[in-house]
Amino acid sequence: MKSSKKEKKVLSHEKKKELVSSILTFVIVLVIAGAILSSLSLVLGETIEKTERQPFISAMKKLCPADKYEELAFENAEASGVYNMHVAYVVDDIVGYCVESKTHSANGELRLAVSSDAEGRITAVEIISRGKEDASGTKAQDKEFLSQFAGKNGQITLARGTVKDDTQVREVIGMTVSPEAVCDGVNRASAIIGHLKKGEGKAVPK
C-alpha cells in the first residue's frame, strides 16, 4: 500500500518535471522564433517599403510626366484609403497631382494610381495591383473602362446602361477587376486631390 503511494508520488513528480520542461522548451523556441522574425523584419523593412512603393512611382512618372515631384501629406487621406500624394512641377509651375488609392473588392485589395491636371480634372487612372484577378476577364476590357475617367471631375457614378451625363462612366463587361471598386477608388482619390488643389496638403520633408 505504502509502496504504491510512493510510486504514484514519483510518477506525479515525473509528470510535473515533463510539463515544466515542455513549457520551458516551447518558450525558448518561441523566443528564438520571435528574435529571428523581428531581426529579419528590421533588415527587410526598408526594402519591402521601397518594393511596395515602386509600382506607384513608375505609374506616376508615366501618367503625370514632370520635372520634379513633391510628396504631400494630408490629415485624413489615409483614413480615406489614399496614400503617396504627390504634386508634379514643370519648372516651378504645378502641372498636376498624382495619388495612390486603395480599395477593396471581392478579389482582394485594389491599388490604383490616379492623376489629375492642375485644376483637379482626372487625366488618367491605372491599376497598380489587383489582388486575385478575375480570370474570366481580360485586361483590354479594363483599359476600355479606365479610359472613361479622363477629363472627369468630382464624384463619378457607374452607369449600368447608357451614360446620362458627364458624371457617369459606363460599366464594361469582362473586366478583371470590379468596376464598383474602381469607381470607389477614383472618387476617394478625386476628393483628396480637391483638398490638395486648395493647398491643404503639407510638404513631406525628404
Partner 1 sequence: MKKKSGKLGKMIRESIVFENGFIALLLGLTPMLVASTRLIDALVMGVSAIVVLTDSAVLSALLSKTVPNGIKVALHITVAVVSIAVIELLIRAFAPTVFENIGMYLPLLSVSGVLTYSFEKEKRKKKISGALETALVTGGGFFAEILILAFVREFFGRGSLLGFQILPEEYGMRFLTLPGGGLILLGVLIAVLRAYVQKIEKEGEI
Where does residue 68 rank: exposed (0-12), middle (13-18), buried (19+ CB within 10 A)? exposed
Scanning 42-50, 142-150, 155-163, 183-191 for contacts with partner 1 by CB under 8 A, the matching segment is 42-50
> Do the Cβ atoms of 177 and 127 come closer than 8 Å?
yes
The rounded distance, in Å, linking the Cα atoms of 6 and 153 is 86
> Do the Cβ atoms of 63 and 32 come closer than 8 Å?
no
> Do the Cβ atoms of 84 and 112 come closer than 8 Å?
no
Q: CB 2 → partner 1: shortest distance, Å?
A: 30
Q: CB 178 → partner 1: shortest distance, Å?
A: 16
Q: Which of 25, 58, 76, 167 binds partner 1 (CB under 8 A)?
A: 25
Check binding of 36 to partner 1 (CB under 8 A). Answer: yes
Nearer of residues 1 and 135 to partner 1, judged by Cβ: 135
Which candidate, 41, 75, 15, places its Cα nearest to that of 195? 75
> Do the Cβ atoms of 133 and 109 come closer than 8 Å?
no
Nearer of residues 70 and 109 to partner 1, judged by Cβ: 109
Scanning 48-56, 59-67, 84-92, 147-155 for contacts with partner 1 by CB under 8 A, the matching segment is 48-56
Q: Which of 1, 79, 91, 135 binds partner 1 (CB under 8 A)?
A: 135
Q: Cα–Cα distances in Å, from 170 out to 145, 156, 159, 161, 192?
A: 7, 11, 5, 7, 23
Residues 136-175 that bind partner 1 (CB under 8 A): 136, 138
Nearer of residues 133 and 184 to partner 1, judged by Cβ: 133
Interface with partner 1 by CB under 8 A: which residues?
Answer: 18-19, 21-22, 25-26, 29-30, 33, 36-37, 40-41, 44, 47-48, 51-52, 54-55, 108, 129-132, 135-136, 138
